[in-house]
Amino acid sequence: MAVAVLPRTNGEELISRRLFMRNLAPLCRGTFVLACLFGVSASLVGQDKKDTPKKAQTAVLIIKCESDAELKIDGEKSTQTGPRRKFETPELQPGKKYYYTVSAFWEPNNYTKITRTWKVYVKPGETTTVDMTKPDPKQPIDDIKVRYVPTPDKIVEAMLKMGKVGKDDVVYDLGCGDGRIPVTAVTKFGAKRGVGIDFDPERIKDSNATAKEAKVEAKTEFRQQDVFKITDLDKATVVTLYMGADLNRQLEPMLRKLKPGTRIVSHRFPIGKWKPDRTEKLDVNGEEFLIHLWTIKGKNEDKKGDEEKKAAEKKAADEKKQADEKKKAADEKKKADDEKKKKNPDDDD
């Protein structure tokens, strides 16, 4: 029997408890028991000692997730499968707060691994449903690991050219792999500095070796780091990406906060629903590649862009209205002509 201890969470009136997970026969199809022992030292919330204690009740937890996801509840692996999974707790005393830490792990493709975590609160006598196909609003950043796939050298140069990298630029490459983008930015485009970030220590070793071979160690820096924990990304004038759609989508809020004029170039993958300013298709040895460009705009540019967008939408709406009116008039004329012919079949007019 595995035992995991949950510490009291800072700032919350929560119950410290030990969790005992075991595989029990289902109470009904698709329903398993979460057997828990809760600490008895915690005080009840909102219950007067003179009141008659309310009856303990179970709680039901329904989790929606990817069909092939591996679920863990407080670190213990669940044996259930499928897109909808149902659990029931033991009897819980009312007036207290109870929660489970639930994690889901899945691989949406052959190069991405995602672990998503939710803190799920349950109440005695109630059913709680959580949709783990979406991030927890209170902790929206998933743990995403992307397999390293090198970007072809021709695409590297095309990305830096699209980003208009020059002597005054500081280039940050998120998911730097072997360091080829920051090194190329410095050696071939004359960038002031190149910085590479990667979570894999082996890739950082490769990047430092690439910089040493190109003799640009003084103008490059490579760091083993979580891209969501970069504190100096505001120093970048150009940011390059080859991270996958899932990571790009979660990076979007951080990237949108960069200073006006910063260029963002992504190899292959979009950034959520953020429409790129430009997309190019390139052919390398018969294989097609896409690169996308976004430029961070100032408030005045954003306002101008919004005005232009509204003007374009109004123009399109006016043109559609005119076309609809023209079609309606033509249909009415045709209908009138047809009726006239029926009444006067011998009328040549």
Domain boundaries, the chain: 2-39+57-146, 153-300
Q: How far apart are CA 136 and CA 127, in angstroms?
A: 18
Report the pLDDT averaged over residues 217-222.
98
Residue 20 predicted with pLDDT over 50: no
Residue 35's pLDDT is 46
- Percentage of the residues of the chain whose pLDDT score is greater than 70: 81
Report the pLDDT averaged over residues 229-244.
97
What 3-state DSSP class applies to 285?
coil
Q: What is the pLDDT of residues 124-166, one digit of tens each?
A: 999 999 999 999 999 899 999 999 999 999 999 999 999 999 9
Residue 22's pLDDT is 32
Higher pLDDT, 309 or 236: 236
Band the pLDDT of 34: cuts 50, 70, 90.
low
| Window from 17-21, 57-61, 178-182, 250-254 with minimum mean pLDDT | 17-21
Band the pLDDT of 9: cuts 50, 70, 90.
very low
The strands making up 193-198's β-sheet, listed across from edge to edge, are 220-224, 193-198, 170-174, 238-241, 263-267, 287-295, 278-284
This prediction's pTM: 0.71
* C-alpha to C-alpha distances, 229 to 137, 146, 198, nearest whole angstrom: 18, 17, 11
Q: Where does 153-300 sit in CATH, by number?
A: 3.40.50.150
| Window from 26-35, 220-229, 242-251, 307-316 with minimum mean pLDDT | 26-35
- Cite the DSSP H helix spans in the chain: 153-162, 180-187, 201-213, 245-256, 299-343
Residue 54's pLDDT is 80
Task: Provide DSSP, 301-347.
Answer: HHHHHHHHHHHHHHHHHHHHHHHHHHHHHHHHHHHHHHHHHHH-TT-
Q: What is the pLDDT of residues 180-207, one digit of tens each?
A: 999 999 999 999 999 999 999 999 999 9
Higher pLDDT, 342 or 58: 58
Q: Where does 2-39+57-146 sit in CATH, by number?
A: 2.60.40
Residue 224 predicted with pLDDT over 60: yes
Residue 16 predicted with pLDDT over 80: no
